[in-house]
Structure 1
C-alpha cells in the first residue's frame, strides 16, 4: 500500500528517529518502524493503521510531540500511537510494561492491537537473531534480563489472543514460539 499520507509518515518517522540505532544490534530505529508498517500492510491494515505503525515509537523514543502527529495525521492516528506509548521513565520497567498491556487491553481500537502485534512480531524476530548470534551478550543489553523479556512477550500475546481475533496473531504466535525456543536454548 502506498499513499501520500504513508510517504509523509515514512518521512516523519525518519526525521524523528534520525540515524539512532536500536538498543541491541546494528539496525536503525527507523528500520524497525518501516518493518512494522510493512507487517501491518501485509496483514491488510488500512492506511491509518500503516501510518500509526510507522509512527508507533515516536512519542516514546523521540522528541516528536503529539501536536505534530495530530496536525499531520489526525486524532485517530494519534490515538493509536498513544495506545502504544509506554509511560516515561523513571517508572520501573515492569510497571511500564504492565501499563502498556493494560492500555492495549482497554483500547477500543483494534488497529492498536494490530500495530502492537506487528511490533512484537518484528521485535521477536530481532530478538531470536540476537539470542542465536550473540547469546548472553545480547541479553545484557536489556534491563529486564531474559526472564523479564519472556514474561513480557508471553503476556502481550496472551492478552491479545484473549481479547481479540485476527490473522496476525498466528504469525505473532509463531515468532513467540521461536523466541521461547531460542531463550530455552540459551539457558
Structure 2
C-alpha cells in the first residue's frame, strides 16, 4: 500500500479521535476508512481513495484546507473541499440542497467519493435499524421522512450522472440500500 494511504489513515484517525457515529459508541473514523475501502475495492486511483478517507476532515475537524494541501497535494485538497458543506451553521435543508446542486456538475472523482460516502451511510443506517429499530431516526437532525427525501434525491442525481463502472455498481448498491431502508411494507398486502 502506498505511503500516502498510510498517511491519510493516520490523519483521519487523529482528526476524528473522540468522535462517534450518531447515537452509538462506534468510532466515527470507521466511516471514512470504509469510504476509502469501497473506493479502493472498485479500483479508484490512490488520490481518490485518499480523498475518500479525508472527505469529512474539513467539515468535522479542525484540519484546514492548507493542511491537506501541504500534506497530500492540491488535487486531494480540492476533492475534499468539493465534498465539504460550505456552512455548517446553515439549515439542514439548505446544506442538503447545496450538496445535491453541487453533485449535478461534479467531476467523476467527486461523484465516486460521494457515492462511496452515501453508500456507507445507508449501510450503517440499515445495520442500526436491524439492531435498534425505528428509534434510530431520533439520532438524526431530521426525521425519517426528510432523510428519505434526501436519499431519494441523491439516488436521482446519481442515476442521471453515473453511466459507467465503477460508479454504476456503487449507484446500484446505493439504490438497493435506499430501497431497503426506506421501503414501507404494504399494510394490506392481500388487497393488492
Structure 2 segments unaligned to the other structure (5+ residues): 188-192
The root-mean-square deviation of aligned C-alpha atoms, in Å, is 1.5
Offset at residue 176 of structure 1 (A)? 1.7
157, 174, 177: which one aligns with 1:175? 177
Structure index of larger Rg:
2
Which residue in the other structure is 2:61 paired with?
62
Residues 105-116 of structure 1 mapped to structure 2, 5 A cutoff:
105-107=104-106, 109-116=107-114
Which residue in the other structure is 1:162 paired with?
160
Tell me if structure 1 keeps the 8 A contact 2:35–2:113. Answer: yes
Offset at residue 87 of structure 1 (A)? 2.7
Q: Which runs of 4+ in 1 moved over 6 A?
A: none
Distance 1:85 1:104 in 2: 12
Offset at residue 169 of structure 1 (A)? 1.4
Structure 1 segments unaligned to the other structure (5+ residues): none
Determine helix, strand or coil for the equivalent of 2:21: coil
Tell me if structure 2 keeps the 8 A contact 1:83–1:104. Answer: no
Offset at residue 88 of structure 1 (A)? 2.4
Which residue in the other structure is 2:37 paired with?
38
Which residue in the other structure is 1:137 paired with?
135
Offset at residue 122 of structure 1 (A)? 0.7
Which residue in the other structure is 1:90 paired with?
89
Determine helix, strand or coil for the equivalent of 1:135: helix
Offset at residue 178 of structure 1 (A)? 1.6
Offset at residue 100 of structure 1 (A)? 1.0
Tell me if structure 1 keeps the 8 A contact 2:39–2:49. Answer: yes
Determine helix, strand or coil for the equivalent of 1:29: coil
TM-score under structure 2 normalisation?
0.89
Q: How many residues are treated as equivalent by the alignment?
A: 182
Distance 2:19 2:94 in 1: 26
Distance 1:45 1:174 in 2: 22
Which residue in the other structure is 2:16 paired with?
17
TM-score under structure 1 normalisation?
0.92
Which residue in the other structure is 1:123 paired with?
121
